[in-house]
Structure 1
Amino acid sequence: MARKIGSRYTAHQILGRGSAGTVWLGEGPEGPVAIKLLREDLASDQELVGRFVQERTALLGLDHPHVVGVRDLVVDGNDLALVMDLVRGTDLRTRLDRDRRLAPEAAVAIVADVADGLAAAHAAGVVHRDVKPENVLLDMQGPLGPGGAHPALLTDFGVAKLIDSPRRTRATKIIGTPDYLAPEIIEGLPPRAAVDIYALATVLYELLAGFTPFGGGHPGAVLRRHVTETVVPLPGIPEELWQLIVQCLAKAPASRLRASELGVRLREQLPVLAGMPPLDVDEPESEAEGAYDAASQPESEAAGVSSAQGESERERVRRGAVPLVRGAAPDSNRDTHTSMRVPAPDELAGGARGTARAPRASGAPRPGSARHRAMARRRRVTLGTAAVVLAAAIGVGTWVATSGDNADATPQDTKNSAPASP
């Protein structure tokens, strides 16, 4: 059913839902548009509405081929909406869900597009703060690029900043998506352009590997890994590309590349990556433990998993689906604008192993799994049997050698060896 948004726009049908609001296919004076209608509780926050209006000039001024343009901001009664260019295609998360991982050439081409969009935004003083596959759109009507990649556009500029207002979050809270949060945000520092570079490098790693470098398990464990652990190398990619990823995942913001530099350096890698197939690695085992004890947190900040919920619930936690509000259905830890407690220094320092979870060769069993234990038992039995056979073979060989010496002795030899008669 059609819905009026302000005096100039009409929303016709829902295209998608997110934690911050709903995206509609709409119509405006200049044709089809996408309308992001923010949640009603956000629209009723007068301070947020004021910030919304203040951001208008910066957001409307972002004009780049790899940025989804914001055409208008609408404040009308209970409606708070961003009117954006309509991109005919899909988002990068949907592509990942279908293909699991991309060929390196296509992955690098997509990330280079996003880096170019970020460079334009950073030059205008705008930090995205929530770069992730859900916020990268692929234009299916655009010309194909290297590796058959569709042009990539970054969307949802300004949404994280609007929601992260002083009244809505305290200094003890983190707003963001755990898998892509830069260490400085976790440590309570203000987000600057370098946080987008860290998140984009995480996206590139995920496109190549099929999983994020520090994800898995409870969000608290994910936060700790960002701060304390180093990224594990991905086998099978050129060293120069790997060094780019490492530099952009540096813990120190000043060590990371700028967006403009990253875009150029990535495109330099494209000829080397041409024709390279997707990597053949499996996701490492997720930790069941986390840096937080969920039961010790307030109800609004985390949720525990009781023993009464059974093994299936605990399995969901190990796979990264954790309910962030007690009693709620489990969410993906990639959901936008997750509100989490800032970890204390001792929590971030505790349990670090120095290196993040290592990817496994394709087909290899997960450490600690039933298959892994069965294979270990088979190896022990095989080694034990081989040892027995080897020992038996050595014994038989010794007996044969001794018998052979006696059998080959001549009568003369025997006589010569006899003691002299008295």
Structure 2
Amino acid sequence: MARKIGSRYTAHQILGRGSAGTVWLGEGPDGPVAVKLLREDLASDQELVGRFVQERSALLGLEHPHVVSVRDLVVDGNDLALVMDLVRGTDLRTRLDRERRLAPEAAVAIVADVADALAAAHAAGVVHRDVKPENVLLDMQGPLGPGGAHPALLTDFGVAKLIDSPRRAAGGRATAPTTRIIGTPDYLAPEIVEGLPPRAAVDIYALATVLYELLAGFTPFGGGHPGAVLRRHVTETVVPLPGIPDELWQLMVQCLAKAPASRLRASELSVRLRELLPLLAGMPPLDVDEPDDAETEPEPAEEPAADPVRRRGVVPLVPGSATDSNRDTHTSMRVPAPDELAGGALGTARVPRPAGGHRPGSARHRAEAARKRRLVLSASALALAAAVGVGSWLAVSGGEDPAPPKQDGKHSAPGPR
């Protein structure tokens, strides 16, 4: 059912839904457009509407071949909408779900396009803050690039900033902006988790996480409860991926550094990635075992016959719920306290599962270890019972008394007889 958006646009059908609103296929004076209609509760927030208008010039002025341009911002009654270019294609999450992992050349070409988009945004003073596969669109009508990759465009600029700006309390005092986290857990930079203000480096960290996911089929710190995911970003190091050139791996490690100052700038990352493309030509997708996702399941009473192969990308905040159907999965989470972060995560973040075994630190790995400990304890108890029985028999039968125990608490080796 069609609906009017302001006086210039008509929305015809829903393309996708997210936690911040709904994306519609629309029509405007200059042809087809995509309209992101924000939720009614956001549209009724007068302070957010004010920020929306203030951000208008920055968002409308952001133009680049790899950026989905914002054409207009509409404030009309209960409607608060961004009108954007319509990209004929799909998003990167859809391709990743279909193919599980990409060939290195195609993955690097796509990420280099997104790095170009971020370089333009950062030069204009705009931080995206929610870089993830759902926010990368692939233009199926554009020319094919290295590895057969379609041109990649970054979308949803400004949405995270609008939602997460400080609110005003009574008396005009701004509330603290560090009590919530806006973003998707798998892609959040450590400084965001620790409550620091987001700078351009958070986009580099998120983009490097996307590149890792495109190559491996899973994110480096994802899996399990969202709180555990956030803690891993702060406390754990990324697990190496076998089979990629060392130059590419070192580049990824630098961009996934815990310290923001250690990461490359977007323009530098784009150049370095494109320099590596000839080295990656013809390489097939990596042969990497999926990580064991048993941390999200109850520990089994008996070992199952086979592990189900399941891919995890975005972690839903509500257990059992589905992730958003489109490229808008902003979340609002409490920032963990320092003592919560200090504990570290159990095991290694996302170690690829060894063949025939379980990932160290997973629930099944811990269950297997517990079973082995029980077997060892049972064997020890049987041995102790046997020793006591033999000693009692010797005492009753008048056998030779055993030598008295040494007083230093150490076991002594038997001497020659």
Query: Normalising TM by the smaller chain, what interval?
Result: 0.7 to 0.9
Partner of 2:219: 212
Partner of 1:389: none
In the alignment, residue 117 of structure 2 is paired with which amino acid? G
CA distance in 2, matches of 1:27, 1:271: 42
Partner of 1:277: 284
Partner of 2:342: 349
Percent identity between matched residues is 86
Q: Is the 8 A contact 1:324 1:331 kept in 2?
A: no
5+ residue gaps in structure 2?
168-174, 299-307, 373-417
Q: 1:239 aligns with which of 209, 233, 246?
A: 246
Q: Is the 8 A contact 1:103 1:278 kept in 2?
A: yes
Partner of 1:226: 233
| Structure 1 stretch displaced more, 59-68 or 278-287 | 278-287
Partner of 1:200: 207
Q: Is the 8 A contact 1:217 1:320 kept in 2?
A: no
Cα displacement (A) at 1:332: 3.8
In structure 2, the CA distance between the partners of 1:126 and 1:170, relative to structure 1 (3 Å rule), is closer
Partner of 1:115: 115
Partner of 1:366: 358
| Structure 1 stretch displaced more, 339-348 or 194-203 | 339-348
Partner of 1:46: 46
Partner of 2:140: 140
Spell out the pairing of 1:41-80 with structure 2 (5 A cutoff): 41-80=41-80
Corresponding position: 1:340 with 2:317: no
Cα displacement (A) at 1:340: 1.2
Cα displacement (A) at 1:233: 0.5
Cα displacement (A) at 1:357: 2.8
Cα displacement (A) at 1:358: 1.6
CA distance in 1, matches of 2:288, 2:43: 45
Q: Is the 8 A contact 1:36 1:81 kept in 2?
A: yes
CA distance in 1, matches of 2:293, 2:251: 26
Corresponding position: 1:330 with 2:321: yes
Cα displacement (A) at 1:192: 0.4
In structure 2, the CA distance between the partners of 1:211 and 1:319, relative to structure 1 (3 Å rule), is closer
Q: 2:259 aligns with which of 242, 247, 252?
A: 252
In the alignment, residue 344 of structure 1 is paired with which amino acid? A
| Structure 1 stretch displaced more, 343-352 or 99-108 | 343-352
Q: Is the 8 A contact 2:186 2:315 kept in 1?
A: no
Corresponding position: 1:288 with 2:300: no
CA distance in 2, matches of 1:359, 1:64: 37
TM-score normalised by L of structure 2: 0.78
SS in 2 for 1:24: strand
TM-score normalised by L of structure 1: 0.77
* Aligned residues between the structures: 348
Cα displacement (A) at 1:351: 3.3
CA distance in 2, matches of 1:332, 1:28: 30
Cα displacement (A) at 1:174: 1.4
Spell out the pairing of 1:171-190 with structure 2 (5 A cutoff): 171-190=178-197
Partner of 1:411: none
In structure 2, the CA distance between the partners of 1:321 and 1:131, relative to structure 1 (3 Å rule), is closer
Q: Is the 8 A contact 1:230 1:354 kept in 2?
A: no
Partner of 1:24: 24
Task: Show CA shifts across 1:206-259 (max 9, x none).
Answer: 000000000000000000000000001000000000000000000000000000
Corresponding position: 1:265 with 2:272: yes
Q: Is the 8 A contact 1:19 1:336 kept in 2?
A: yes
Cα displacement (A) at 1:321: 8.2
Supply the RMSD in Å over aligned alpha carbons: 2.8
Task: Show CA shifts across 1:12-71 (max 9, x none).
Answer: 111111111111111111111111111111100000000000000000001100000000
CA distance in 1, matches of 2:111, 2:149: 10
Q: Is the 8 A contact 1:216 1:319 kept in 2?
A: yes
CA distance in 2, matches of 1:150, 1:186: 33
Task: Show CA shifts across 1:181-204 (max 9, x none).
Answer: 000000010000000000000000
Cα displacement (A) at 1:171: 2.7
Q: Is the 8 A contact 1:11 1:26 kept in 2?
A: yes
| Structure 1 stretch displaced more, 277-286 or 72-81 | 277-286
In the alignment, residue 145 of structure 2 is paired with which amino acid? G
In structure 2, the CA distance between the partners of 1:33 and 1:337, relative to structure 1 (3 Å rule), is same
Cα displacement (A) at 1:322: 6.7
Cα displacement (A) at 1:283: 2.4
Partner of 1:5: 5
CA distance in 2, matches of 1:23, 1:322: 22
Partner of 1:154: 154
5+ residue gaps in structure 1?
291-304, 306-314, 378-422
| Structure 1 stretch displaced more, 72-81 or 276-285 | 276-285
Cα displacement (A) at 1:173: 1.8
Cα displacement (A) at 1:353: 6.2
Larger Rg: 1
Corresponding position: 1:36 with 2:36: yes
Q: Is the 8 A contact 1:60 1:72 kept in 2?
A: yes
In structure 2, the CA distance between the partners of 1:127 and 1:275, relative to structure 1 (3 Å rule), is same
In structure 2, the CA distance between the partners of 1:270 and 1:359, relative to structure 1 (3 Å rule), is same
Partner of 1:405: none
CA distance in 2, matches of 1:70, 1:79: 16
In the alignment, residue 358 of structure 1 is paired with which amino acid? V
Q: Is the 8 A contact 1:228 1:354 kept in 2?
A: no
